[in-house]
Structure 1
Amino acid sequence: MRFLSETSADGVREQIFSLDVASGELPGVLWTPDGATGPRPLILLGHGGGQHKKAPAMLARAHRFVTGGGFAVAAVDVPGHGDRPTDPEFDRIATENQARVEAGADLASVIAEFQALVARRTVPEWSAALDALSLVEHVGAGPVGYWGVSLGCGLGVPFVAAEPRVRAAVLGLGGALASADEARRITVPVEFLLQWDDERVPREQALALYDAFGSTEKSLHANPGPHAAILPSYELDSNLHFFLRHLL
């Protein structure tokens, strides 16, 4: 793991890093309280499709978790996004999937198939990132939380199911077609976000995913609006308190 740059603003230290993984270099970013020393809980953020590790909403969320709870927060680019190189295989599949959708294929099933394919790469990459971050002095090997909606949910469910270091997860805007089997293996507390008028993930699929979680503590947060609607600010407050309760 190599830190490439460091900046500080509004009480938050931001460090850009690169990590060697089996598929090449994994670009990421770590946010911590400015001047922090010693270990602290870590929250891993999963970005949405077509976005990247430092998308505006990701930055806002990271700063809120750092300043509001003293957490370390990290995010990495998924394949084909952000600072990752283009992937010919994923590009080919995405083009084929677009043709399938235009020919009348069900959008939710196409998305589910693609996310399952990408997750086979991202799950070991994200576990490698946790390994490396646990050795950073101002992060340490403490409890881990996960936050991810849309693509971040489709990739996050199999990751949370496979990663015993994750103690709590905020997930949402995803459906059961992609990851119901993995969801049944998740027993940590879950806060699930749902857009009631989601045109990409049918409501019944989202509710089925929520129902599939094996957690004894889980809560459903439904808000009106389409898939890409901005989540209400009070949901971020709820996410913060959720992580404070389960990670500190």
Structure 2
Amino acid sequence: MRFLSETSADGVHERLFSLDDLPGVLWTPAGATGPRPLILLGHGGGQHKKAPAMLARAHRFVTGGGFAVAAVDVPGHGDRPTDPEFDRIATENQARVEAGEPVAPLIATFQALVARRTVPEWRSVLDALQSGGHVAAGPAGYWGVSLGCGLGVPFVAAEPRIRAAVLGLGSALASADAAARITVPVEFLLQWDDERVPREQGLALFDALGSAEKSLHANPGPHAAVLPEYELDSNLRFFRRHL
């Protein structure tokens, strides 16, 4: 892991890093010393590690909870090069949607393909951050909705260091089997009028989670609606309890 730049503002210290050409960012409380629990953020489709919503979320978890927060660009996003295979599949899927095919199964299949790459990448990020003394070696958390949920469910299922997760705006079509292997506490976000993920598929994914402690947070609005501020407050309290 190589740190490329450092800046501080509004109580948050930001460090851009590269891990085997995987671009990422680590946020910690400015002026704080010593390791602290980590929350890994997964960004949405078409976004990147420092998208405005990601920055706002990271700053809230750092300043409100004293957490370390990290995010990386998923394949084909942010500072990562274009992936010809993923671009080809995305183009084909768009044509199929325009021809009248339902979008949810196409998204689910595509996310399952991308997760085969991102799950080992994210585990290597955890390894590097924890071994470098930047974050605590103990429990970590995960936050991801939409694409961040499609990739996050198999990651949380595979990574025992993740002890609490906020997931949502995802479908059971590709993730139900992995969801059944998740046993850590989960807060699940659902948009009641989601046009990309049918409501029944979001509810099915929540139902598939193997967690004994899980709560469903449903709000009106379409897939890309801005989540209410109180949901972020709830997420922060949730991570405080479990990390």
**What TM bracket, shorter-length normalisation?**
over 0.9
Matching of residues 4-23 of structure 1 within 5 Å: 4-20=4-20
Q: Which moved more, 1:82-91 or 1:32-41?
A: 32-41
Secondary structure of residue in 2 paired with 1:134? helix
For the Cα contact (< 8 Å) 1:30–1:75, is it kept in 2?
A: yes
For the Cα contact (< 8 Å) 1:37–1:137, is it kept in 2?
A: no
Specify which of 224, 234, 238 is matched with residue 234 of structure 2: 238
Aligned to 2:85: 89
- Cα distance in 2 between the residues matched to 1:139 and 1:175: 31
List per-residue Cα deviations over 1:81-108 (Å, max 9, x = no partner).
0000000010111111111111121100
- Cα distance in 1 between the residues matched to 2:136 and 2:182: 24
Aligned to 1:108: 104
Aligned AA for 1:232?
Answer: P
Query: Would you say 1:60 and 2:38 are equivalent positions?
Result: no
Specify every segment of 5 or more residues in structure 2 that has no aligned partner in the other structure, as ranges.
none
Aligned to 1:51: 47
Q: Shift of residue 204 of structure 1?
A: 0.2
Q: TM-score, normalised by structure 1?
A: 0.97
Aligned to 1:120: 116
Q: Which runs of 4+ in 1 moved over 6 A?
A: none
Aligned to 1:184: 180
CA RMSD of aligned residues (A): 0.7
Q: Shift of residue 135 of structure 1?
A: 2.1
Aligned to 2:214: 218
Secondary structure of residue in 1 paired with 2:35? coil
Identical aligned residues as a percent: 87
Q: Shift of residue 111 of structure 1?
A: 0.2
Q: Shift of residue 138 of structure 1?
A: 3.3
Secondary structure of residue in 2 paired with 1:8? strand
Q: Shift of residue 43 of structure 1?
A: 0.0
- Cα distance in 2 between the residues matched to 1:31 and 1:154: 24
Query: Would you say 1:42 and 2:31 are equivalent positions?
Result: no
For the Cα contact (< 8 Å) 1:37–1:138, is it kept in 2?
A: no
For the Cα contact (< 8 Å) 1:145–1:169, is it kept in 2?
A: yes
- Cα distance in 2 between the residues matched to 1:128 and 1:71: 19
List per-residue Cα deviations over 1:176-196 (Å, max 9, x = no partner).
002000000000000000000
Q: TM-score, normalised by structure 2?
A: 0.99
Secondary structure of residue in 2 paired with 1:200? coil
- Cα distance in 2 between the residues matched to 1:102 and 1:243: 40
Aligned AA for 2:149?
Answer: C
Aligned AA for 2:16?
Answer: I
- Cα distance in 2 between the residues matched to 1:105 and 1:125: 32
Query: Would you say 1:209 and 2:202 are equivalent positions?
Result: no
- Cα distance in 2 between the residues matched to 1:218 and 1:140: 25
Query: Would you say 1:173 and 2:169 are equivalent positions?
Result: yes
- Cα distance in 1 between the residues matched to 2:94 and 2:5: 37
